[in-house]
Amino acid sequence: MSAPSTLRTPWLPKLVVAPGFVLCFIFIYGFMAWNGYLSLTASRLLPNYEFVGFDQYIALFANERFRVALSNMALFGTLFIGGAMGLGLLLAILLDQKVRAEGVLRTVYLYPMAISFIVTGTAWKWMLNPGLGLEHLVQQWGFEDFSFGWLVDPDKAIYCIAIAGVWQAAGFVMALFLAALRGIDDSIIKAAQVDGATLPRIYLRIIVPSLRPVFFSTLMVVSHLAIKSFDLVMALTAGGPGYATDLPATFMYAMAFTRGQIGLGAASATVMLATVAAIVVPYLYSELRSKR
């Protein structure tokens, strides 16, 4: 007996996916568009649809606190991206030497990325608190003159955020670079060694330059994490002391949800979106172009 013919319904998968697609489109792109429109209105405590053009953006860039947030973003982004990528690459190269207990070390390095930025911020807040953490511990050991008050110093608190961020993201960067290193043909390294090249020179001149696509992809991911940093700052410093560690994300939250400046907060969110788009869109374009 022949098996019954299967009823072909090519529209069924599309029908199943359609509700989720529509909801995602509404709740992501729809609210992005709504936020963009609110940034062009006189909204304050509640949405107000009176169109005022770019007045909110003029007020935004004239706001001293937002200018501080932008300068903090530039400093934090440079330290976070450079530190995470540099440390991640170094760890990947070290693990690529087939060291003993590599699996354990890889897990230890990657573990921070498994926890949330809230947990990271809280843990580092305890460690860097002058009355509870590192300073207190060293003083208890007998070094009473030791001082490490970066967390409460307006000029240095932003570096504490960068340290905590690098600690969490470096393991993720290491995993990306290590996967790329393991994909390189060993014959290239052996040929270079036969020619008398030392191992550091091989990595510097041959292997690291060949990782350029991974560098680009990792830069996109880490830059995205830096721009949208919110929970790490809120858990570690809450934007303080004062607003010395404000970033655009925390500025947006403060304006929209605690100061009753919805239009100003929406303008800040739109600027963040434009910054992320300026990073992601060229990457997606280059990826699609390479596939063609």
Delineate the domains of the chain, giving CATH numbers in brackets. 63-291 (1.10.3720.10)
**Measured CA angle at 286 (ends 282, 289), to 5 deg:** 135
Cβ atoms of 250 and 230 within 8 Å: the answer is yes
- DSSP class of residue 8 equals P
Where are the strands (E) in the chain, listed by range? none
Placement of tokens 């940093």 in the chain: 229
Torsion of CA 162, 60, 265, 164, to 10 degrees: 0
Average pLDDT, the chain: 87
- DSSP class of residue 144 equals T
With 60 as the cut, is the pLDDT of residue 150 above it? Answer: yes
Q: How confident is residue 62, by pLDDT bands cut at 50, 70 and 90?
A: very high
235-287 per-position pLDDT tens digit: 999 888 888 999 999 999 999 888 889 999 999 999 998 988 888 887 777 77
C-alpha of 170 from chain center: 11
Instruction: Phi first, then psi: give them for residue 41, nearest 5 degrees.
Output: -115, 175
- DSSP class of residue 204 equals I
Cα 122 from Cα 283, distance rounded (Å): 33
Rg (CA), the chain: 25
pLDDT of residue 1: 47
- DSSP class of residue 255 equals I
Q: Give percent of the chain with pLDDT exceeding 70.
A: 96
Cβ atoms of 181 and 214 within 8 Å: the answer is no
pTM higher than 0.75 for the full model?
yes
Cβ atoms of 242 and 154 within 8 Å: the answer is yes
Cα 21 from Cα 184, distance rounded (Å): 39
pLDDT of residue 291: 66
With 90 as the cut, is the pLDDT of residue 77 above it? Answer: yes
Cα 69 from Cα 239, distance rounded (Å): 9
Going by C-alpha positions, the residue among 221, 188, 218 that lies closest to residue 205 is 188
